[in-house]
Amino acid sequence: MSFEDYSGVWVFIEENEGKIAPVSLELLGAGRTLADKRGVELAGIIIGENVTGLSDTVFEYGADKVYVYDQPIFQLYRTESFMKALLHCSEKYKPEIILYGATSTGKDLASAVATDLPTGLTADTTELDVEEDTGLLLASRPAFGGNIMATILCKKYRPQMATVRPKVMKALQPEKGRAGQLIAEQIDIKEDDMRTKVLKIVRETTKKIRIDEADIVVAGGKGLGSEQGFELVHQLAKTLGAVVGASRDVVEAGWIEHHHQVGQTGVTVTPKIYFAIGISGAIQHIVGMKNSGMIIAINKDPDAAIFNSCHYGIVGDAFEIVPLLVKEFHKALH
């Protein structure tokens, strides 16, 4: 394998019901920086049915090229068919880097492609950089329980691959009318060759709270003492029309369900305003909320680590401060 044969940064563009997943646009932003640093092209790869039209958006968000596999066999995501298309494209055009969103689809596809190529894959990356001269991808992620950041390199194989969590990278401002080169590809796979058939799609009927889409998140921690104490968080969230978040310790104590957990093993959120109430500020929590627009921390310990990661810090007892906030916000808003 000669590394000189490999060039360009690719982003797998995930499509759901005709829409591009936001993480793919975020990755085009990150990919653009890597490609510019290397002086190479940025490309998107789209696999699906009736998806060619999405390439305009991919160009507007920074890609120079788009490879499209637009065939009925790709109507729904299946590991086998998508992997074959990606391998076909990667073997033909040889990118040096491929990025995927760390979504269920992205994780599934990236690991299948990495195994088949074979190459290395860094999962759940939170920072990306590239060495200008060697082209080595520097993919960083929390390791050893989040106590250190590990930078993982893939020195012996190409392409280098990483999955990146949604909401960690920033999408570029779309440039209306920005054009690029569209490369339509096809592969010959028949439905009869597929081992997996989609028999039925059952949509979830319970309405899950999308904490990762909320403008305001009011998150509470173990400092609230009990499930009753945690009610304060619900009260403030209700007053502000916010969504409730929690630290892992709160979820483990059973005060709230796991899909409210913010952090490394929970959800990454980037609301406009994030309240951290009675949360100590462990690194595993911080990685999930540090990109919020404004972080307001309330903690009775002036040395709590959360105060190193907030815009406004209130030192005091949550049981005194939060009821005052509820009262004042209620007056202002209702």
| Min CB(208)–ligand FAD separation in Å | 18
Site pattern 204..233 for ligand FAD (x: CB under 6 A): -----------------xxx----------
Cα(318)–Cα(326) distance, integer angstroms:
12
Quick one: 31 or 142, whose CB is closer to ligand FAD?
142
State which residue, 31 or 223, has the beta carbon closest to ligand FAD.
Answer: 223
166 lies in the site for ligand FAD, by CB under 6 A: no
In the region spanning residues 74 to 103, those forming contacts with ligand FAD, defined by CB under 6 A, are: none
Strand partners, 162: 99, 122
26's enclosing H/E stretch is helix 22-38
Structure tokens at 169: 């990278």
Stretch touching ligand FAD by CB under 6 A, among 51-59, 105-113, 130-138, 298-306: 298-306
Q: Which residue, 181 or 226, has its beta carbon nearer to ligand FAD?
A: 226
User: Which of 261, 311, 313 is closest to 287 using CA atoms?
Assistant: 261
Q: How far is the CB of 324 from ligand FAD (least distance, A)?
A: 13
Nearest residue (CB) to ligand FAD, 175 versus 301: 301
Residue pair 141/152 in contact (Cβ under 8 Å)? The answer is: yes
Q: Taking Cα atoms as reference points, which of 163, 154, 81, 84 lies closest to residue 119?
A: 154
309 and 286 Cβ atoms separated by less than 8 Å: yes
**Which of 264, 268, 270, 292 is in the footprint of ligand FAD by CB under 6 A?**
264
Please report the beta strands in the chain, taking only residues with DSSP state E, as ranges in sequence order: 9-13, 15-16, 19-20, 42-48, 65-70, 97-101, 121-125, 127-130, 137-143, 148-152, 160-164, 181-185, 216-220, 243-246, 273-277, 294-299, 312-315
Give the Cα separation of 308 and 304 in Å (integer).
8
Q: How far is the CB of 89 from ligand FAD (least distance, A)?
A: 35
31, 48, 135, 263: which one contacts ligand FAD (CB under 6 A)?
A: 263
Q: Is 285 in the site for ligand FAD (CB under 6 A)?
A: yes
Tell the smallest beta-carbon distance from residue 294 to ligand FAD (Å): 19
Q: Are 105 and 127 in contact (CB under 8 A)?
A: no
Using CB under 6 A as the binding rule, the residues of this chain from 122 to 161 that contact ligand FAD are 145-146
When the beta carbons of 101 and 288 are compared against ligand FAD, the nearer one is 288
Question: What's at 239, amino acid-wise?
Answer: T
Residue 136 or residue 318: which is nearer to ligand FAD going by CB?
318
What does the binding site for ligand FAD look like in residue numbers (CB under 6 A)? 145-146, 221-223, 247-250, 261-266, 278-280, 282, 284-285, 288, 298-301, 304, 317-319
